[in-house]
Structure 1
Amino acid sequence: MLYEKGIAFRFTLVLLSLVPLCVQHAPAMSSASQSHHSVFSFSDTWHVLGPFQTGTREATWGADPLEYLGGFRHLEYDPTATFWSSLPTNATASWNTTRPVRTTSDATSANASLSIAYSNVDWNFLKVIYGWAAVQYQAWVRGELVVGGNETQHVILHTDSILEFWVDDEHYFGGDYYSFRNAPPVIHLKPGSHKLDIRLVREVRAFGGILEPTIDVVVDVRRVSRSLELVKPGILMSDVVDGKLASPIASVYLINSGEEDIEIVDIQPSKLTSDNSFVGAQALLTEGINIGEQSQHTPPRVTLVAGQTRPIAFNISLPTHHDSVMEYEVTYRTLDGTDTTSTLRVSQALHYVSISEPHKITFLHPGGIVSYAMLRPPAKNATCLPGQTRLPVLLQFHGAAVEADLPQVNRALDPVSDLCAWVLFPTGVTSWSGDDWHNWGFADVEAAIAAIPDWIGNVGWSGLGVDTDRWIVSGHSNGGQGTYYALTHRPDKVLAAAPVSGYASIQKYVPYELWQPADPRRTGVISASLNSYRHEMLMPNAQGIPVQQQHGSMDGNVPAYHSRLLAEQLSRTGVIGRNPSYNEVEGREHWWPSVMTTPELVDFYYNQTKSKEKLPRKMVQFLLVVGDPGDMGGKNGIRVKRLEDPGRYGKVFVSGHSIKTSNIQDLEFDVALWNESVVLDGEELDLAGTAAAAVPSLTACKSVDGWDIRTTDTRVQRNGRQLGSMTAILRSHGPFVIRHSGSAHTSHIALQISRNLHQYFHADAVIVSSPSYTLPADTTGNVITLVTGSSPECIQSTFSIRVGESGVTLRGHRGQKQQYGDEATGTAFLQPLDGERLELVLWGTNEEGLRQAARLVPMLPGVGQPDFVILGESAKWKGIEGALAMGFFDANWRVTPSSVVESW
């Protein structure tokens, strides 16, 4: 969050006036008056209805009060109509009109900027009671896009800061809430007027908490070629370091803007050097196959369905001559029955840097995409300890809405250029770090660390080596929160941590206060699905790790309360003892140029990079707290493999050789640290005897008969990457596979899911249309399956949830069956696949029910999706209270007691 929440350059593209809706806006220049040749124009007057309350991240669940009346799309503008609302004076919301702050239009594009505000809400008083949660609200706005001429126009639609909208009768959920512009929808518009209904959702994390509570959005339409295009200019590739390419892996982002599917045939250099020594760029086209095993002669081909955006990975190498630009040609063909191929030329200016400077490296994310990080190897003048041959990795996590390749990020540690460490600035894949450095984003961190040895080989590095299992973690704002995540989830790898201006958890940042009223059991399930990210609950895991906190006393973005709270929690673990290493910088706000190199932090970096402490630590007494074993590494050689009930925290208390557990099913012991007898929950276990089997780890398994030790675990249970709530689907090894029956409405929803995955995570997805729901051969990624009506064979017949023409059947934790018939409109649930893979099944009674279920595909962090949800019609306006059942699966994929199963 270097410039998070709209405070600085988060919304540089929206410089808007803050005018109440009830005040007439100054006339805006009409599109027609701007250009005599405009094909597109937005309406001069827009109709707005609101405001209505909404909670932090609640919009994903629906929770739209107007759905009780059939939805905004079915309402006509009526300035005399009133609607019940908890926010405005007299509990009354009504229609108003507004004019765009700015519109532009020309022969190929049009743009409208809207700024919505309300003067009939006492925001300041609400903030006194509810804090920042009070300035989050929702409304709807309706306008028109007029298409001129006599021909159908093919366009992409950018929706900056918008989560949900309708174009005529077509629904789009996901939008572009962070204004990434990664994956705009492709829309084909006939001449005439087209209705735009836009749901406006204001959230503090995106719009700010200390500014006026306006909602500022942009809609932007641009004509496309009806073919293959670059959705992002250039090529994602590494820098050239002292004449050598830091990494041979590159990627381009392509969009199919036509109405027919397109197949990528090849990617090759567009020209040869004068001596014909250019090594060809052999495509590593990723169709769910292990990239590292591609043949150099028969690359697999990639399909982009009509309207889809995909990242395409390929190998590159430098020419022998000192060129300034790399150029490639993407060869493709349209799958319209012809064999004609076309080419798309892409180019990228080469960036030459010294090996001593921070520079860009590329690598493969587990999801099969190319990502990048900025790396600064140890300086030649670094004064390291005698005999120190392998140095730790100093991680620097950036804040939200900034990129790691910006100087204010990767140059932040220039004042300590002689550190005895490999300094790595990861991206988390996107400028918002995908999911706040948690699941998808943290996998990117670990992949970046693992890429350092590859870099050493690529550039011929002869300096000090790297120890990829010794981390010093630091970061600012959202990166400070990411530092807490690393500290509490990888304690056996963290040598030290320095969180700066970080927040404790999403729930503490902006409380989940103004959600629609719900049974506390339902809100408890949502909260439990976020257990792994509540750092205020996980601080015991940091015991024994040196921590240096820092926060500006006047921080209006992330209040210093967060660091103060976690300092208090840390002090109770014995981490920082009676003299907390806590530095609150008087008079400083959220960010200042030397925020990462204050004297306290500089001393901390130097001291910890020279630490001789051995990892993993062997401690006499400690407490390990686990929210999700799928996210969690070991502490002091002990790792929790499974919880009895994933809806509750698991705890392991160790005192010498005595271990007590709560809600733990399986424990793994590192035999290098644990090779003697232990007393586990009062039962003595001989680890020494079992360790003689010469295995690196032992597993203690709990049953009704007590604990027993196993050297191998052959049980078919939920394991590894399958553990966790619905966000576990993001632990995909390879591109996602989205399969559906091939109908028009399932095709649209599948494309929308693919678009959202790429928009918010830069993820790749293979869309498979097949009535038999077959999967491509050699698929390695997780699967998302869309179903309406009857159940295909891919839905496991013995699973705890069954779907079909008669509705949804759920088998509860006592084995009892609960049947939901017409009252169940949709469901989303995880089920296992082989190789620790997962399938997310989305089912609806019809298109509307499937749309409702598809909203739950993980997209924004903090939403809180458990393992399964069965939705009723009222979820559209009640949110989670409209869920008929929701909860978790245990290690045997049975519904847990902590789940909510409502009789009907």
Structure 2
Amino acid sequence: MTRALRTMAYPRSCWTSTFWFSWVLALVMASGGQQQTVFDASFASLIDAGANGSIDWRVSVSKDWDVLGPFPIHAREQHFLSPAFPLNLSEPLDHTAQWPSSYADNGTVGWTTARARDDGTLDVSFPEIRWSSLRATEGWAALQSHSVLHTTITIYPPPSQDGQSANPPKLLVDLLQGSFFTVLPPKNHESTEGVVPTWYAGNIYAMDRAPPQVVPLPRDPSATEPTAYDLFVSGDYEIRLFGDPLFNSRRDGIPVLSLTLSASLLTSSKAEVILLPSHDVTCDFADGWAFGDALGVGVRSLSGWWTVGNVSLTTITEPSPIELQLLNATRIAPSQTRIVPIRISQRAAYYASSIELDLHLTSSTTLTTLHVILPVTQLPQWTPSNSPSEGIMASYFFATSMPTAFRVIPPELPNDGDPHPAVLALHGAGVDIITMPFWIQALPRQERSWVIAPTGRTAWGLDWHGPSTQDAWSTVDALYAIVASRESWHLYMLAENTRVLVLGHSNGGQGAWYIASRYPDRVAAAIPAAGYIKSQSYVPLIHSRSAHYIDPPLRAILESSLTPDDNDLFMSNLVDTPILAIHGGDDENVPVWHTREAVSVLKTWDPNANATYVEDQGQTHWYPAVFDNDHVKAFMRSLLEQGAVGAVSQSKSFTLTVSVPSDSGAMHGWRILSLQTPGRLARLTVRVEDDLVSVRTTNVKSFSIHRLTNGIQLTVDDRPLHINETINDPVVLQFSIHDKMWTVENSIVTPNIQNTGRLSNILNSVAPLLIVIPDNSTDRMLSVAGRIAHNLDIYHKLDAEIIFADEALRRLQTGSLGRGNIVAFGDVDNSFTRHILVDSRTPFQIHGTNLFIKGRQLGQPSAAALFLHPHPSVDSALVMIVFAGRDSGLEKGLRLCPIRTGVTVPDWLLIGTSTDAVGAAGIDGAGVWGVNWDWNEAMSWL
């Protein structure tokens, strides 16, 4: 569950604080001698770590830090508060000041100091706080805390100018396990009053394959003397990141915030675009054939706009056994990283150890080529006695065009009739299945079932919700297509849309509960191990700062955005799903009561539910035999031998619970399509007695049913409904309520399923996201677009294209806007935003230069609005508008863009000016849209 898994239980692999060095080294090794034309210099010539005696610009980060804290905070609350809370960074620092904090014995805290190690790692603790006393009554919630960290970065000019001062450098900053950071002008510069800090997200999960942030200096450095800049970091201690301090190396119970900061310089360079091998995507070859059709090449623009327009093979004699095709032209904004999608196809077997190719790029002034060598792992055909120890690396295109890898374990034997269900294995938080083989090695190979281990997009993803769930199901479909693509593999075919046995550990155990309870008809069984119920139960939100100021109805509406993730609310959907729930009796990471309680809730819905709980006494959070033991193997064998269809047990009475219809599937063929009041739970209770089916609805506006046989008498909410006797499967029956009367109609088309409820739905895109900014964008606006693209890459490996508003409008008019979701930044200066708001498809409207909702104008100039809006040309897609005219509003809006789970952002928000100090209590308005994007009085606060 927590990052502590990686420090205490899971293998460390490559997550260590030396990642910055390894990232640079990988670039140097990959680029040396391989980049053509102007790119013959390695990336090492473009940066300077400040310690190698370079004659170019140099940088150093002071090891001495000022520390202010700790302050109570709940997980993710830092996205509402100012990252510098309680400071106002436009004012001079007063190191003698005291600030209120309920954690200190005298009720106040002041500045202290800490010193970083040589590798840039800073350990921050507050031993004077009586943590044991706090946790005695508050538990883990008392350990969640916020602090502000300050140091200086110094830029040294080159000894010999030679025109260097005309091209000041940019910073490359890598912050591991810090929330946000900002770089402010030098202390001796003119007053910083009115300066709005540019806050960059840190790599808080310390994830691999995360490039550093490119940070333009807020003021040009001096060309004649060193220039010092202020660096501020928001340091937030979370149990999920650092674990219980009673189980750290010191075991003293004192929480230690440990973060690592590295800085380098990007100077005036010979190269403006580079390869990023950390982002490359490949697949293994089995008996000479690619196990997938997707390749990806990581490319980053150091400056300027670049377009990858073509790809060509190199060093292969004709006729080539393989062909490469650029899936689509890929435009890369300044400082952006994208993975170029390439489709691979074969005429014959290919046994080489690498694939060499050239990417052909253009900018406004330059044509150039990047030479790429993708290593290839060649594997023999699997047999009953031979299977790769780390599985087979497969690949596919997620969301149309995003190259994505996953691992599979082939079955021992070919099918003996109908295909058997697959095993979908969900890893824990912080586990990178690409570089950490222990996860795939912990999964027992099955006799006739494939084992599929998806990435979930990244090592943390979205906790197996949203795009992580989308990725999990997509890997199952991708494996079906891969095996079907080659005749010699047909003996091992999966069934199309196969059911799965889903299992997972820790965060993956939570994910197993989530996927099984949201898609019960596709899940044959579930084995959740060491899973938590929901984030609010893992570490309660009781130390929320905003809770002291917020109107309770507003808090309820905000927290409704967490409802879709609360597994305990959806246990009714599992009464007919075989469950084997496992937990180590001495789990120090996810308390064992979580699984006990989840099984208890399920048994409350149905005491006869097929749920077995196994508590492995004496075991901690992770133990290699968690799945590789007799009782797990017996359970899996009994379910998997039933075949892909198998006998589905159905209770005579069951209840389907749904929060966001687009995030849930069917149960026994019944599916909820839309809600009467979005934002509230909906339930459909079905009772079957002989030929009579009685349905009772709660907050359901429309639903559908498969497999309703002829001759059935149906009542909905005590009213009989006539079903056409000629209806045969697989026609879907759709039921809708109008004026309190239910009607039924036949449908063979995909129904329109409600997909609103919270802003994080913007991540569920079927194609790369579009980020639309005004035509006259300022440096700040370009930075905002680049930062959200950077965050999407680090946290989810979600692709995004940055375009200007006029191009978005041209694409809209020509029907080429695409099917992906859109994020639009700016105010009325964004002509795309202005255009789509003209039709008033939501209660938000523009009058003159101002934004209104229900007659109320967006607040102060520094305020912002975030809201979902229908896509202008695709019914199932979404637009998220971040409406702000001032830099301070843009910064607030960007921090609340839903990148992490647990951030309480419903369909729309008005962000007030006081959020910096009181968090969510400073919200001026929030709500969930109605079923037709209209005003939802029950779920709105204004």
Q: Same fold (TM over 0.5)?
A: yes
> Aligned equivalents of 2:376 and 2:707: distance in 1?
51
Match of 1:533 in 2: 565
For residue 643 of structure 1, the aligned residue among 651, 656, 675 is 675
Q: Distance in 2 between matches of 1:227 and 1:263?
A: 12
2:926 paired residue number = 886
Aligned-partner SS, 1:74: coil
Distance (Å, rounded) in 2 between the aligned partners of 1:512 and 1:896: 27
Work out the CA distance in 1 between the residues paired with 2:669 and 2:349: 49
Deviation, 1:239, is 0.6
Within 5 Å, which residues of 2 pair with 1:372-521?
A: 372-380=405-413, 388-405=417-434, 406-414=436-444, 417-432=445-460, 434-459=461-486, 460-467=488-495, 468-516=497-545, 517=547, 518-521=550-553
Secondary structure at the residue paired with 2:620? coil
- Any idea what SS the aligned residue of 1:556 has? coil
Count of paired positions: 842
Residues 248-257 or 345-354, more deviating: 345-354
Change (3 A) 1:249 1:674: farther
Question: Which residue among 696, 700, 704 is the counterpart of 1:660?
Answer: 696
Q: Could you give the per-residue CA deviations for residues 73-96 of structure 1, whole angstroms, max 9, x where no partner exists? A: 234343321112222221212122
Distance 1:233 1:580 in 2: 42
Letter in 2 for 1:532: P
Within 5 Å, which residues of 2 pair with 1:726-875?
A: 726-742=759-775, 743-744=777-778, 745-770=780-805, 774=809, 776=811, 777-789=816-828, 792-798=834-840, 799-803=842-846, 807-811=850-854, 817-822=855-860, 825-833=863-871, 834-875=874-915
Contact 1:499 1:549 in 2 (8 A): yes
Q: Give 1:294's aligned residue.
A: none
Aligned to 1:597: 628
Deviates more, 1:519-528 or 1:559-568: 519-528
Structure 1 unpaired stretches of 5+: 16-30, 104-111, 286-300, 812-816
Residue in structure 1 matched with residue 34 of structure 2 by the alignment: none
Q: 1:699 aligns with which of 734, 755, 778?
A: 734
Residues 492 and 681 of structure 1: is their aligned pair in 2 closer, same or farther, counting only changes over 3 Å?
same
- Residues 60 and 856, structure 1, Cα contact 8 Å, conserved in 2: yes
The Cα offsets for residues 527-577 of structure 1, whole Å up to 9 and x where unpaired, read as 211112111111110011111111000000011111000111122233755
- Pick from 161, 173, 179 the counterpart of residue 157 of structure 1: 173
Decide which of 3, 12, 16 is 1:13's aligned counterpart: 16
Would you say the 8 A contact 1:156–1:186 is kept in 2? yes
Moved more, 704-713 or 324-333: 704-713
Q: Which residue of 2 aligns with 1:296?
A: none
Task: Provide the C-alpha distance between the structure 1 equivalents of 2:63 and 2:285, rounded to a whole number of angstroms.
Answer: 50
2 CA distance for matches of 1:838 and 1:418?
41
Aligned 1:138-157 pairs, distance under 5 A: 138-150=146-158, 151=164, 152-157=168-173
Corresponding residue SS for 1:233: helix
1:340 to 367, 376, 384: 367
Partner of 1:586: 617
Tell me the SS of whatever aligns to 1:639: strand
Q: 1:159-178 maps to which residues of 2 (within 5 A)?
A: 159-168=175-184, 170-178=197-205
- Quick check: 1:113 aligned with 2:121? yes
Question: Residues 491-510 of structure 1, C-alpha deviation per residue, up to 9 Å, x if partnerless?
Answer: 11111111111111111111
Kept in 2: contact 1:5–1:204 (CA 8 A): no
Q: Quick check: 2:84–2:234 contact (8 Å CA) kept in 1?
A: no
1:621 paired to 2:653:
yes
Residue equivalent to 1:107: none
User: CA deviation digits over 1:692-723, x for unaligned, max 9?
Assistant: 6x7620111012141111224999x9x43633
Deviations 1:68-117 (A, max 9, x none): x5x2x2343433211122222212121222221224xxxxxxxx221111
Would the alpha carbon gap of residues 4 and 689 (structure 1) be closer, same or farther in structure 2, given more than 3 Å must change?
A: farther
* Contact 1:616/1:635 (8 A) holds in 2: no
Change (3 A) 1:234 1:94: closer
> Shift of the alpha carbon at 1:477?
0.7
Quote how far apart the aligned CAs of 1:450 are.
0.4
CA 1:680–1:261 in structure 2 vs 1: closer, same or farther (change >3 Å)?
Answer: same
CA distance in 1, matches of 2:438, 2:528: 17
Q: In structure 2, what is the Cα distance between the partners aligned to 1:522 and 1:64?
A: 22
Q: Distance in 2 between matches of 1:149 and 1:165?
A: 24
Cα deviation for residue 808 of structure 1 reads: 3.6
Give me the whole-angstrom Cα distance separating, in 1, the residues matched to 2:883 and 2:102: 33
Q: Deviations over 1:360-419 (max 9, x none)?
A: 110111263111221122212x7x7xx6321111111111111224321111124xx343
Q: Is 1:250 paired with 2:295? A: yes
**Does the CA contact (< 8 Å) of 2:309 and 2:361 recur in 1?**
yes
Letter in 2 for 1:229: I
Tell me, in whole angstroms, the C-alpha distance in 1 between the residues paired with 2:933 and 2:687: 33
**Contact 1:543–1:573, Cα closer than 8 Å, also in 2:** yes
* Deviates most, 129-138 or 36-45: 36-45
Q: State which drifts further: 779-788 or 845-854.
A: 845-854
TM-score, normalised relative to structure 1: 0.88
Per the alignment, residue 758 of structure 2 pairs with: 725
Residue in 2 that maps onto 1:574: 606
Match of residue 215 from structure 1: 257
Residue in structure 2 matching 1:360, options 393, 397, 403: 393
Structure 1 residues 231 and 215, CA gap change in structure 2 (3 angstroms): farther
Deviates more, 1:620-629 or 1:178-187: 178-187
Letter in 2 for 1:596: F
| 2:205 counterpart letter in structure 1 | Y
Per-residue deviation, 1:340: 3.0
Alignment check: 8 A CA contact 2:360 2:367 kept? no
Cα displacement string for residues 466-501 of structure 1 (whole angstroms, at most 9, x for unaligned residues) = 123311111111111111011101111111111111
Q: Secondary structure at the match of 1:102?
A: coil
Across the aligned residues of Structure 1 and Structure 2, the Cα RMSD in angstroms comes to 2.7
Matched residue of 1:788: which SS? coil
Question: Which blocks of at least 5 consecutive residues in structure 2 are unaligned?
Answer: 19-47, 159-163, 186-196, 222-226, 249-253
Give the Cα separation in 2 of the matches to 1:470 and 1:641: 21
TM-score (norm 2): 0.85
CA contact (8 A) 2:63 2:115 kept: yes
Deviations 1:253-302 (A, max 9, x none): 221112x11111222223223x55253422113xxxxxxxxxxxxxxx22
Distance of 1:662 and 1:234 partners within structure 2: 47
Q: After superposition, give the CA deviation of every residue in 1:722-751 in whole Å (9 maximum; x if it has no partner).
A: 333111111111110010113212211111
What secondary structure sits across from 2:297 in the alignment? Answer: strand
User: Identity, % of aligned pairs?
Assistant: 24
Letter aligned with residue 398 of structure 1? H
For residues 194 and 231 of structure 1, the distance between their equivalents in structure 2, rounded to whole angstroms, comes to 29
Contact 1:690 1:709 in 2 (8 A): no
Q: Distance in 2 between matches of 1:138 and 1:116?
A: 11
CA distance in 2, matches of 1:875, 1:673: 56
Aligned with 2:420: secondary structure? strand
